[in-house]
């Protein structure tokens, strides 16, 4: 039986609640409209209006947030964190070039993502030029439990770490085909670990398919995942395994090499 993990179990005596709340206010802008009123920020963060106002004014004084007196929004200064992360992570132009070539070769959109809590976060993406865009871009988040990227990343966790991850939350189905039972999710993750790839058919959205492989660091740890997304109308599951998978694995090896070169001391 999976034991639920409380927030207090994850916090030590040196945990700074004020810092947590300030970061929660910043993060709220990534989950809501670009510009929010004080009331909207308070509701999005479960903070009182007075507390939310103090954090917003502090962030405004530090130039991370701006305001017209009614609405608040992020400033470009927050981009220093994303650019610093991507540089340190090794997602250089060379790495993006590999993903771009993969997209051109297969004719489908390709993405690279990392695990952040119960979400995958996109750190690189090259989308095919189609009339309709998926709306996914660098920084976008999707639930890990039902995405090909997420299952590959979860497969890289140790058994105990995976157990804790499964115990931390309940899973809300984005699609009628989503698997939400924790034990069934575990089996899918273990399968991805065994075969070193994950394929999803309609679990994120009916008619949408994707296949992903892991990206490893020099120590062999899974640090990211690379995928190709398509639709049921454009590619069968058999075609994805026979054509997409070899191309994905080759591209993943190239990304691993560019990351290794980038991160050389």
Token look-up 């939350």 returns 169
Residue 197 lies in a domain: yes
Note whether 12 and 128 are same-domain residues.
no
Q: Is residue 125 part of a domain?
A: yes
Overall domain count for the chain? 2
- Asked whether the whole model's pTM tops 0.85, one would answer no
With a CB cutoff of 8 Å and minimum separation 6, the contacts of 77 are: 63, 64
Angle at the Cα of 100 (from 90 to 178), degrees rounded to 5? 85
Q: Are residues 60 and 99 in the same domain?
A: no
Q: Are residues 60 and 96 in the same domain?
A: no
CATH assignment at residue 101: 3.30.450.40
What is the domain range of residue 140?
Answer: 81-262
What does the pLDDT read at residue 78?
Answer: 82
**Same domain assignment for residues 160 and 126:** yes
What is d(CA 18, CA 51) in angstroms, rounded to the nearest whole number?
Answer: 10
Instruction: Tell me which of 74, 100, 129 is where a domain ends.
Output: 74
- One domain for residues 151 and 204: yes
Domain end call among 43, 74, 105: 74
Same domain, 37 and 127: no
89 within domain boundaries: yes
2 in a structural domain = no
Same domain flag for 126 and 222 = yes
Are residues 163 and 201 part of one domain? yes
Distance from C-alpha of 60 to C-alpha of 63, rounded to nearest angstrom: 5
pLDDT of residue 265: 46
Examine the fold and report which residue of 74, 98, 122 is the final residue of a domain before the chain moves on.
74
The answer as to whether 3 is a domain residue is no
What CA–CA distance (Å, rounded) separates 34 from 47?
19
- Is 12 among the domain residues? yes
Q: Are residues 59 and 177 located together in one domain of the fold?
A: no
My answer on whether 158 and 93 are in the same domain is yes
Q: Look at residue 236 in the predicted model and tell me its pLDDT.
A: 96
Q: Report the alpha-carbon distance of residue 142 to residue 233 in Å, rounded.
A: 23
Q: State the CATH number of the domain containing residue 45.
A: 1.10.10.10
- Report if residue 159 sits inside a domain: yes
User: In the chain, which stretches have pLDDT less than 70?
Assistant: 1-11, 31-33, 83-94, 129-134, 260-265
* pLDDT number for residue 10: 58
Bridge partners (DSSP) of residue 115 are: 120
Same-domain status, 98 and 69 = no
Buried b (16+ CB within 10 A) or exposed e, 156-191: bbeeeebbbbbebeebeebeeebbeebeebbebbee
Shared-domain flag, residues 114 and 210: yes
- Summarised one tens digit per residue, pLDDT across range 29-66 is 876 667 899 999 999 999 999 999 999 999 999 999 99
The verdict on residue 1 lying in a domain is no
Whether the Cβ atoms of residue 173 and residue 9 lie closer than 8 Å to each other: no
So what's the pLDDT on residue 96? 81
Q: Give DSSP secondary structure letters for the chain.
A: -PPP--TGGG--TT--HHHHHHHHHHHHTTSS-SSEEHHHHHHHHT--HHHHHHHHHHHHHTTSEEESSSEEEE-GGGHHHHHHHHHHHT--HHHHHHHHHHHHHHSSEEEEEEEETTEEEEEEEE----SS-----TT-EEESTTSHHHHHHHHTS-HHHHHHHHHS-----SSTT----HHHHHHHHHHHHHHT-EEEESSSSTTEEEEEEEEE-TTS-EEEEEEEEEETTT--HHHIIIIIHHHHHHHHHHHHHHHHHHT--
């Amino acid at each position: 039986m999976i034991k639920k993990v409380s927030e207090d179990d994850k916090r030590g005596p040196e945990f700074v609640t004020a810092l947590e709340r300030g970061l929660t206010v910043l993060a709220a802008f990534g989950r809501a409209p670009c510009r929010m009123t004080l009331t909207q920020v308070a509701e999005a963060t479960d903070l009182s209006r007075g507390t939310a106002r103090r954090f917003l004014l502090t962030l405004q004084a530090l130039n991370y947030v701006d305001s017209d007196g009614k609405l608040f929004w992020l400033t470009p200064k927050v981009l220093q964190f994303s650019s610093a992360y991507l540089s340190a992570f090794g997602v250089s132009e060379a790495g993006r070039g590999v993903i771009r070539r993969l997209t051109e070769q297969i004719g489908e959109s390709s993405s690279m993502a990392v695990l952040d809590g119960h979400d995958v976060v996109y750190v690189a993406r090259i989308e095919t030029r189609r009339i309709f865009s998926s709306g996914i871009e660098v920084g976008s988040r999707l639930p890990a439990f039902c995405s090909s990227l997420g299952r590959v990343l979860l497969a890289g966790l140790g058994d105990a770490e995976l157990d804790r991850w499964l115990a931390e939350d309940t899973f809300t189905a984005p699609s009628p085909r989503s698997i939400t039972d924790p034990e069934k999710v575990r089996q899918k993750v273990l399968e991805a670990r065994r075969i070193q790839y994950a394929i999803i058919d309609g679990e994120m959205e009916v008619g949408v398919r994707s296949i992903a492989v892991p990206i490893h660091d020099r120590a062999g740890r899974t640090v990211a995942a690379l995928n190709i997304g398509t639709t049921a109308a454009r590619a069968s599951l058999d075609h994805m395994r026979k054509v997409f998978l070899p191309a994905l694995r080759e591209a993943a090896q190239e990304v691993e090499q560019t990351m290794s070169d980038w991160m050389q001391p």
